[in-house]
A = this chain, B = another copy of it.
Amino acid sequence: MHDVARVAGVSIKTVSNVINDYPHIRASTRQRVLDAIDELGYIPNVAARNLRSGRTGAIGLIMPDLRHPYFAELADDVMRAAARHGLVVLIEQLTGDRQQEIEVLRGWRPRATDGVLYSVLNLTQDDVGMLDVPVPLVLLGDRIFNGPTDHVTIQNTEGARAATEHLIALGRRRLLVLGAHEREVVGSAGLRLEGYRQALRGAGIPYRDELVSYVDRWHRADGAAAMRGMLARGVEFDGVVAFNDSLALGAMRVLQDAGRRVPDDVALIGFDDVDETRYSQPTLSTVDPGRAEIAERAVEMLVERMGPGGKDLPPREVPARFKVVPRESTTVRHL
């Protein structure tokens, strides 16, 4: 920067002003500085800028690992949205371990960014205190309500309810659930289960616990294992509400191995609308939770909070628009 200043014949502060688009600069001066920058191939030192200005130009994204297609696609959406605001995204993966999650929040990373997007996983209402971090924070997803922060929520209950109603509309009555979590109430699993129950209630179908499969993790392998367990126990069912697409796809595979036709014998619906659902055999009906909108809004809200006066905004909660996406796995062929 000193070199640039010397070449352009100005002070380093003027170079700084040019770089930062300070308005009151004579056009000719600006041009001389820009030329000098070009000539010398000068690139600002990020660390020094961060140190002096207190902002890093980066936001953190704390989420479960990228192996989940949903989170990979969410990360992609977030990175694109952030790029539109000139921000870089630092991804921090959660292992599913509650202790690690708390350490991540308490750790230095949040302080190395201007703000944090946090796709909550293992924390509960009791952990609200944990969210009292010194940087702007926006939550994605579910779990903690009445927190001190902004929150872009997936409409878990409403979405699961709509998914379940979709199966009921096909005439299915014995509806398996994949992905429930024991004793959980405020997480995705708990909320989606509630949606399922609401739909049953609405249709006058009794809720039966034997149809609920408790699955901790939501990978394909878990869906496959859960379905194998159900089949082994000889449970009868003609529809499956899976709490995410991976579970649904893992389960579908097992169903087909067992000779059940999808959707004829068993109709199947997932949750998340990952790209993969468009290419499975059969294609998977699912609930689009509004992922792109979630990323977009979350970044926007974070940017607002990072801006001047952002600290004084009251906590906001924005529900994303969801919609049921019917595909082949719930489309009974006309024979």
Interface, chain A (partner B; CB < 8 A):
43-48, 50-51, 56, 65-67, 69, 72-73, 75-76, 79-80, 88-91, 93, 108-109, 111-112, 220-221, 224, 249-250, 252-253, 256, 275-276, 278-281, 283
Flag if A91 contacts B93 (CB, 8 Å): no
Contact A67–B72 (Cβ < 8 Å): yes
Judging by beta carbons under 8 Å apart, are A66 and B67 in contact?
no
**Are A72 and B66 in contact, CB atoms less than 8 angstroms apart?**
yes
* Complex CA distance for A69 and B67, rounded to whole angstroms: 8
| A-B contacts, 30 listed (Cβ < 8 Å) | A43-B108, A43-B111, A45-B51, A45-B111, A46-B112, A47-B56, A50-B50, A50-B51, A51-B51, A66-B73, A66-B79, A67-B72, A69-B276, A72-B72, A72-B75, A76-B93, A79-B91, A79-B93, A89-B91, A90-B90, A220-B276, A224-B279, A249-B279, A252-B281, A253-B279, A253-B280, A253-B283, A256-B281, A280-B280, A280-B281
Shortest Cβ distance from A79 into B: residue? B93
Report yes or no: A76 in contact with B69, Cβ–Cβ below 8 A: no
Give Cα distance in the complex from A252 to B278, angstroms.
Answer: 12
Query: What 9 A-B pairs come out closest when comparing CB atoms?
Result: A47-B50, A72-B72, A47-B51, A46-B112, A66-B76, A220-B279, A66-B72, A281-B281, A253-B279
With the chains together, A249 CA to B111 CA distance in Å? 42
Q: Majority SS of interface residues in chain A? A: helix
Minimum C-beta distance from A81 to chain B (A): 12
Chain B residue with the shortest CB-CB distance to A89:
B91
Given A43-B111, A111-B46, A250-B279, residue A75 in contact with residue B66 (CB < 8 A): yes
Bound together, the chains give a CA A280 to CA B249 distance in angstroms of: 8
CA distance A88 to B50 in the complex (A): 17
- Given A51-B51, A90-B88, A256-B281, A108 and B249 touching (CB < 8 A)? no
CB distance from A223 to the nearest CB of B (A): 8
Who on chain B is nearest to A278 by CB? B220
**A75–B80 alpha-carbon span in the complex (Å):** 16
A276, B275: Cβ atoms closer than 8 Å: no
Asked if B56 and A67 make an inter-chain contact with CB atoms under 8 angstroms apart, the answer reads no
Residues from chain B with a CB closer than 8 A to the CB of A250 are: 279
* Nearest opposing residue in chain B for A109, CB measure: B88
In the bound complex, residues from chain B placing their C-beta under 8 Å from that of A93 are 76, 79-80
Chain B residues near A47: list those with CB within 8 A: 47, 50-51, 56, 112
